[in-house]
């Protein structure tokens, strides 16, 4: 079909843009386009005919619109893209379709939760999209919608600078990905696709002796490796490989073992299991207790029926390029409890409870043995927190040693409920050396639902809900916390910063103060201003040596490493 410009369509588009930008929320600094959003083009082209719709509401476009043509004159390096065929047993998203050239990329339904008030039944869950591809080089992606959008259209992380073209008339978004990692494409405030772009190497089984879960659905009814309780028990030295678009409806569990690896770009799917916070019915997908030298890499966990990664009294743990999307009660992302020497990197967490959380517990078999937490690092992760905190230490801190916990190179796409940065020492830990550095917060919208409007909360306090839940202890302290090179782009006006120790309110305990001390804010940019001691919504109680400074350099937040792709041309090798 021949295209031509139509003035009428531009008038409708102009009206659409204008209506999307008026009447902003009085409690938010958010606008339709944030300061870091890449330049966007909106197509002025339309056809001379009205598009017909198919049975799902998508426009039926020109025959060659989604096409791929080899350029025989292009002698540059070829791009490699892995696209798996759809798993027919898994329901696909109804409102969007994704294409790379003429290849359809399956987008599966995944539940997300836009309620920002805790409820045991986790209401307001809805279908959004999740998909993954493998990539070496670069790739142009088109997403066709069965509705029109513009106001909320955003590709995150915004600091990656991914520009897009939106063809308003065809309802197609086009953008190019030039690096592996995790992305979210927001079309409206409650419609999003989670796109996971993996290294090509992850699509090859690295083991000769692995337990392999092939593409398709695996459950206790069709796979003998899953027991009647929907569990897969792993022994020392075992290796597991999860193929692309394998969906494992079970949990992995191991106790008192070592040298276990679970890798591969497939999914662990908890959607078929009941989660009841009232009866405590739960199925945690990943659970390791008293283990050492554990590697978890490349796979995704979707719709867990409770916590997602439950790591307890482990020493030597690597979690790399794992992805979590949770939407039900106590849907914490990665929970590190009484562990030592842990590295979580290159991972994506969207959670309906704390995204990244560190706790200290006693041993369940002998509560006189208290936990030790030491050398925990979260590095190069992307977070979206629908409920609770993005980066949390506490409340449960049973055991005197909690030392060297680092959150670095983190992007928080959204935080809707409680603090982005939080320490809640509700027990006897002498909690030391916690670092938050090189962090970008795209949207600090805390305080929605039953949340609080606090951005940073560093506390020692007794909690009637949490402090006595696992063992009754006195209170400890928080000593040496650094927040360095922090960039908050957007969010609520004047969020609260709370740095507070306390005097134990319980009878029979010492009335000596429990301090939060030696806290450093360095190069912390809150919207347009660098944070200083004169910030009007700063609260300090039983706090010692809290300082604010700037080195006068650019405050960058999280900067992603980039690869040189200049040697790659436009031709693609499609693999599956």
- Quote the pLDDT of residue 26: 32
Q: pLDDT of 66-90, one tens digit each?
A: 999 999 999 999 999 999 999 999 9
- Quote the pLDDT of residue 404: 98
Nearest CA-CA partner of 571 in 66, 70, 65: 70
Distance CA 234, CA 246 (A): 18
Q: pLDDT of 496-525, one tens digit each?
A: 999 999 999 999 999 999 999 999 999 999
Q: Calculate mean pLDDT across residues 459-477.
A: 96
**Bridge partner residues of 405 (DSSP):** 376, 434
Phi-psi bin for 566: left (phi > 0), alpha (psi -120 to 50), beta?
alpha
Over 50: is that where the pLDDT of 14 sits?
no
Distance CA 314, CA 289 (A): 6
pLDDT class for 158, splitting at 50, 70, 90?
A: very high
Q: pLDDT of 374-416, one tens digit each?
A: 999 999 999 999 999 999 999 999 999 999 999 999 999 999 9
Question: Residue 524 has which token pair?
Answer: 């912390």
pLDDT class for 36, splitting at 50, 70, 90?
A: very low
Phi-psi bin for 327: left (phi > 0), alpha (psi -120 to 50), beta?
alpha
Per-state percent for the chain, helix, strand, coil, to nearest 5: 5, 50, 50
Residue 267: other Cβ atoms inside 10 A? 31
Position of tokens 């983190």?
Answer: 410
Torsion of CA 59, 68, 166, 416, to 10 degrees: 100
Distance CA 317, CA 241 (A): 18
pLDDT class for 150, splitting at 50, 70, 90?
A: confident
Q: pLDDT of 192-238, one tens digit each?
A: 999 999 999 999 999 999 999 999 999 999 999 999 999 999 999 99
More confident residue, 65 or 8: 65
Over 60: is that where the pLDDT of 27 sits?
no
- Quote the pLDDT of residue 49: 56
**Bridge partner residues of 451 (DSSP):** none
- Which fold, 3-200? Dex49a from penicillium minioluteum complex, domain 1 (2.60.350)
Distance CA 17, CA 398 (A): 53
**Bridge partner residues of 98 (DSSP):** 105, 143
Residue 403 per-residue DSSP state: E
Q: Mean pLDDT of all residues in the chain?
A: 92
- Quote the pLDDT of residue 19: 39
Q: Are strands 286-289 and 309-312 parallel, antiparallel or unpaired?
A: parallel
Distance CA 336, CA 393 (A): 10
Q: pLDDT of 412-445, one tens digit each?
A: 999 999 999 999 999 999 999 999 999 999 999 9
Sign, CA dihedral 207-209-210-216, equals: positive
Over 80: is that where the pLDDT of 151 sits?
no
Q: Are strands 154-156 and 181-188 parallel, antiparallel or unpaired?
A: antiparallel
Distance CA 481, CA 404 (A): 10
Name the least confident of 18-22, 177-181, 310-314. 18-22
User: Residues for the chain: how many in total?
Assistant: 576
Angstrom distances, CA of residue 306 to CA of 120, 351, 353, 550: 11, 11, 10, 41
Domain definitions of the chain by residue range: 3-200, 354-560
């Amino acid at each position: 079909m021949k295209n031509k410009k139509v003035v009428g369509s531009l008038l409708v588009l102009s009206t659409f843009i204008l209506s999307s930008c008026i009447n902003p929320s009085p409690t938010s600094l958010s606008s339709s386009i944030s300061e870091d959003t890449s330049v966007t083009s909106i197509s002025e082209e339309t056809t001379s005919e009205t598009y017909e719709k198919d049975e799902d509401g998508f426009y039926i476009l020109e025959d060659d619109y989604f096409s791929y043509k080899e350029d025989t004159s292009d002698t540059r390096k070829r791009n490699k893209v892995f696209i798996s065929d759809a798993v027919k047993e898994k329901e696909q998203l109804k409102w969007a379709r994704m294409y790379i050239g003429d290849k359809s990329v399956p987008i599966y339904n995944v539940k997300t939760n836009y309620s920002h008030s805790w409820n045991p039944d986790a209401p307001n869950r809805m279908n959004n999209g999740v998909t993954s591809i493998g990539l070496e080089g670069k790739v142009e992606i088109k997403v066709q919608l069965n509705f029109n959008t513009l106001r909320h259209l955003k590709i995150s992380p915004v600091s990656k600078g991914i520009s897009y073209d939106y063809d308003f008339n065809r309802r197609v978004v086009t953008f190019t990905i030039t690096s592996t990692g995790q992305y979210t494409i927001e079309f409206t405030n409650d419609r999003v696709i989670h796109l996971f772009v993996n290294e090509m190497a992850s699509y090859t089984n690295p083991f000769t002796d692995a337990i392999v879960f092939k593409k398709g659905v695996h459950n206790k009814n069709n796979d003998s490796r899953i027991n009647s309780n929907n569990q897969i028990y792993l022994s020392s030295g075992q290796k597991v490989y999860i193929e692309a678009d394998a969906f494992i409806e079970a949990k992995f569990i191991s106790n008192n073992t070592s040298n276990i690896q679970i890798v591969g770009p497939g999914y662990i799917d908890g959607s078929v299991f009941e989660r009841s916070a009232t009866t405590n019915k739960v199925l945690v997908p990943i659970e390791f207790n008293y283990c050492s030298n554990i590697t978890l890499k490349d796979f995704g966990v979707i719709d867990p029926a409770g916590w997602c990664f439950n790591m307890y009294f482990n020493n030597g743990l690597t979690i790399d390029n794992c992805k979590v999307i949770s939407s039900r009660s106590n849907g914490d992302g990665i929970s590190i409890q009484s562990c030592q020497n842990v590295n979580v990197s290159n991972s994506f967490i969207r959670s309906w409870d704390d995204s990244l959380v560190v706790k200290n517990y006693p041993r369940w078999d002998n509560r006189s043995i208290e936990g030790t937490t030491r050398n925990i690092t979260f590095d190069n992760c992307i977070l979206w927190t629908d409920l609770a905190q993005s980066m949390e230490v506490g409340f449960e801190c049973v055991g005197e040693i909690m030392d060297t916990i680092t959150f670095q190179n983190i992007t928080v796409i959204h935080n809707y409920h409680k603090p982005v940065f939080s320490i809640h020492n509700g027990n006897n830990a002498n909690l030391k050396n916690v670092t938050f550095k090189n962090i970008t917060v795209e949207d600090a919208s805390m305080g929605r639902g039953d949340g609080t409007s606090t951005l940073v909360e560093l506390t020692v306090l007794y909690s009637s809900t949490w402090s006595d839940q696992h063992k009754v202890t006195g209170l400890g302290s928080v000593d040496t916390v650094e927040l360095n090179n922090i960039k908050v782009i957007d969010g609520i006006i004047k969020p609260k910063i709370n740095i507070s120790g306390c005097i134990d309110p319980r009878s029979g305990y010492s009335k000596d103060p429990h301090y939060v001390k030696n806290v450093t804010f360095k190069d912390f940019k809150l919207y347009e201003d660098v944070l200083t001691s004169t910030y009007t919504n700063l609260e300090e109680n039983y706090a010692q040596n809290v300082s604010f400074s700037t080195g006068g350099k650019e405050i960058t937040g999280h900067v992603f490493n980039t690869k040189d792709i200049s040697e790659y041309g436009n031709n693609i090798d499609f693999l599956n």
